[in-house]
Chain A
Amino acid sequence: MKKNGEIDEKKQGVMGIFRDMEWLLHAIKNIKERNVKIDTVFSPFFSHEVQEALKLQPSPIRYFALAGGVLGIVAGFGLASYAHLEWKFITSGKPVLSWISFFVIAFEGCILGGVLATVIGMIVKNRLFHFRLPEVYDSRFSQDQFGLFVTCQEAEVDEVSMLLRDSGAEEVRVVGK
């Protein structure tokens, strides 16, 4: 699987389908102990336990959010300042650049910039707008089943299949053969 979330359709391996998350976590532990490469874990909901079991690092989306927020503040102050220098709307002796009121614009700009950047980050990292579903995907993964796709060579398929069955997989499927 590519780091950015896209699943390589042409990989060869074994898919184990689990009904229970306990068995899934058990299987992940067993697979990791045997040093077999876990490609993808599918689940119908977000699970901290799965994320921890796979030892995943925090998402880099937070850097997108930070950059977007900072850009938003700068854009807010920048736009308001530029507009007021271009069209000097001087009233009641107030300064041309009344920066206190510009804080409101900058604040909203920060939030807008941060959210837009977060969404862009999520689309990029999750490779969304990629409408063709991978071969390994099963529609039950969005309902009530969990999937554990493990990549291996053809010679290892039987061993891996047995490992998944022993770890509690209800169904085991060979992919890409």
Chain B
Amino acid sequence: MTEYADIDRNILRMLSPPKKPYYALLGLCLSGIAFGTFCEIYQLLTGMGNTGLMHPVMWGIYLISFVFWVGIAHSGTLISAILFLFRASWRTPIARSAEAMTVFAVMAAGIFPLIHLGRVWIFYWLIPYPNQRYLWPNFQSPLFFDFVAVSTYFTVSSLFWYTGLIPDLAAVRDASRGLRRKIYGILSLGWTGSHQQWRHYGWAYLLMAAFATPLVISVHSVVSWDFALAIIPGYHSTIFAPYFVAGAIQSGLSMVLTLLIPLRRIFRLEAFITLKTLESLAKTMIFTCLVIGYSYLVEYFMAWYSGNSVERDAFLWRAIGDYAPQFWIMVVFNALLPLLFFFKRIRTHLGYLFIIAILVNIGMWFERFVIIVGSIAHDFDPYVWGIYTPNWVELGIMIGSFSLFFLFFLLFVKFLPAISMAEMKEGLIRDIGNRQ
């Protein structure tokens, strides 16, 4: 058997019928989605008043979840598009899974602006088309920028992901029989791997990677402007765009580690997803952690330097006020913990990598909590200062979104090749060439 056939065999065996633990995880995800759906239906029937949202905090778990999921999506595109342009070969075994993570995270994110509306059935008012209401959305509003940016991001990521899948779907077609062959035959769109097809495909993939690259920077900058274009202290800060983008990449990388470490172990993919690949992810996290740490320091410095009493008080309250525990979780888990990756022993140990990745995920969630809730709970007018506590409806919907994300990923791993076979084979030839 050739080395190429070896690659196919090892990756295609992931598509074989699953064992009981898979079904257990599937059941857990479906239960989470069912509970989340129940919570949303309850909210639709009884109103937004049955959530924890109350003046002054009208943006809570839903916005936190939206920003959290969009942030996670960015790292996938960084790995699959930006690292492709940089010819970073360590990306090859993880690019497909990372891009899948992007698509599923954007899908999870996209439901939150709808849920957050309350009156979900009038979401179509956001779509810019000539209508009998003679109304158009406000193109100056960052909330509308969000609609354009996130829907563009979803479309582009899905198309980029699918384009990359086409040659591998053809490989699955050719390795299958009967109905399975027919289905993958349709999905692979009649791909034959001729030199002309590869010629056009190579250019298309390169151009799509080039187009997707500015999305990594722009989409989360646009999401950050939902807050930065407001005037309250804690929101109105020019550092938000790079701050949020770095945070997005950090949370995405930690989610990639969270997904890939178990995947690698369960499917015995150690030969493909090497420790060096995971180490490279950890090293990238050091960089994003330093940017985030810098952002935290700059925000505090500028609050003090400005001399503005409201700004100073808002930031002091974050550190010592009602949400101080969340603040300190944010600082320790996001700006300090990933610095442990400076030590090779830690960044090459699977257990430490996994634990730190989970803690960074938690820390990044709390960062969004501290920024979004912490700022509006304590803004200009002391009379309206208040506390927000999410209730079971909001937490249930959030659990539903996590379950949806993991369900999509479970289905992806069983029905589609989770590692790009064509790119792995291309890498093999490159490695042989380098050795010669």
Please indicate the chain A residues that have their CB under 8 angstroms from the CB of B425 in the complex: 44-45, 144
In the assembly, what is the distance between CA of A44 and CA of B427, in Å? 12
Q: Given A44-B193, A45-B423, A83-B128: A142 and B167 within 8 A (CB)? A: yes
A20 to chain B, nearest CB (A): 9
Most buried by A among B130, B148, B185, B222: B148
Please indicate the chain B residues that have their CB under 8 angstroms from the CB of A131 in the complex: 185-186, 189-190
Please indicate the chain B residues that have their CB under 8 angstroms from the CB of A153 in the complex: none
Is B8 at the interface (CB under 8 A from chain A)? yes
Contact B174 A5 (CB under 8 A): no
Contact B160 A132 (CB under 8 A): no
Interface string of A82-122 (1 = CB under 8 A from B): 01101101000010001001101101110110111011011
Is A1 at the interface (CB under 8 A from chain B)? yes
Please indicate the chain A residues that have their CB under 8 angstroms from the CB of B200 in the complex: 5, 59, 61, 121-122, 125-126
Please indicate the chain A residues that have their CB under 8 angstroms from the CB of B138 in the complex: 89
In the assembly, what is the distance between CA of A59 and CA of B203, in Å? 6
A173 to chain B, nearest CB (A): 16
**Which of A29-37, A46-54, A161-169 touches B?**
A46-54
Q: Find B193's partner among A42, A62, A101, A115 (CB 8 Å cutoff).
A: A42
Is A56 at the interface (CB under 8 A from chain B)? yes
Contact A143 B204 (CB under 8 A): no
Is B376 at the interface (CB under 8 A from chain A)? no
Q: Find A104's partner among B136, B148, B185, B208 (CB 8 Å cutoff).
A: B148
Q: Find B171's partner among A44, A107, A109, A134 (CB 8 Å cutoff).
A: A44
Contact A108 B148 (CB under 8 A): yes
Contact B4 A1 (CB under 8 A): no
A37 to chain B, nearest CB (A): 13
> How many residues of chain B have a CB within 8 Å of chain A?
63
B87 to chain A, nearest CB (A): 12
B64 to chain A, nearest CB (A): 23
In the assembly, what is the distance between CA of A137 and CA of B215, in Å? 38
Closest to A48 in B: B202
Please indicate the chain B residues that have their CB under 8 angstroms from the CB of A1 in the complex: 194, 196
Contact B159 A51 (CB under 8 A): no
In the assembly, what is the distance between CA of A101 and CA of B208, in Å? 25
A66 to chain B, nearest CB (A): 9
A29 to chain B, nearest CB (A): 15
Q: Given A131-B186, A142-B174: A111 and B195 within 8 A (CB)? A: no
Q: Range of interface residues on chain A?
A: 35 or more
Please indicate the chain B residues that have their CB under 8 angstroms from the CB of A104 in the complex: 145, 148-149, 218, 222
Please indicate the chain B residues that have their CB under 8 angstroms from the CB of A122 in the complex: 163, 200-201, 204
B186 to chain A, nearest CB (A): 7
Please indicate the chain A residues that have their CB under 8 angstroms from the CB of B155 in the complex: 112, 115-116
A35 to chain B, nearest CB (A): 19
A156 to chain B, nearest CB (A): 22
A42 to chain B, nearest CB (A): 5
Please indicate the chain A residues that have their CB under 8 angstroms from the CB of B215 in the complex: 111
Contact B207 A61 (CB under 8 A): yes
B411 to chain A, nearest CB (A): 23
Is A174 at the interface (CB under 8 A from chain B)? no
Contact B190 A114 (CB under 8 A): no
A14 to chain B, nearest CB (A): 16
Contact A43 B171 (CB under 8 A): no
Q: Interface of A with B (CB < 8 Å)?
A: 1, 3-5, 7, 19, 21, 40-47, 50-51, 54, 56, 58-59, 61-62, 65, 69, 79-80, 83-84, 86-87, 89, 94, 98, 101-102, 104-105, 107-109, 111-112, 114-116, 118-119, 121-123, 125-134, 137, 139-144
Q: Interface of B with A (CB < 8 Å)?
A: 1-5, 8, 128, 130, 134-140, 145, 148-149, 152, 155-156, 159-160, 163, 166-167, 170-171, 173-175, 185-186, 189-204, 207-208, 211-212, 214-215, 218, 222, 421-423, 425-426, 429
Q: Other CB < 8 Å A-B pairs besides A87-B135, A108-B149, A127-B190, 7 of them?
A: A5-B196, A61-B204, A79-B139, A107-B218, A108-B222, A111-B211, A130-B189
Enumerate the 10 nearest inter-chain pairs by beta-carbon distance, A residue then B residue, closest first: A144-B4, A139-B174, A83-B136, A59-B203, A128-B189, A80-B139, A122-B204, A5-B196, A144-B5, A142-B171
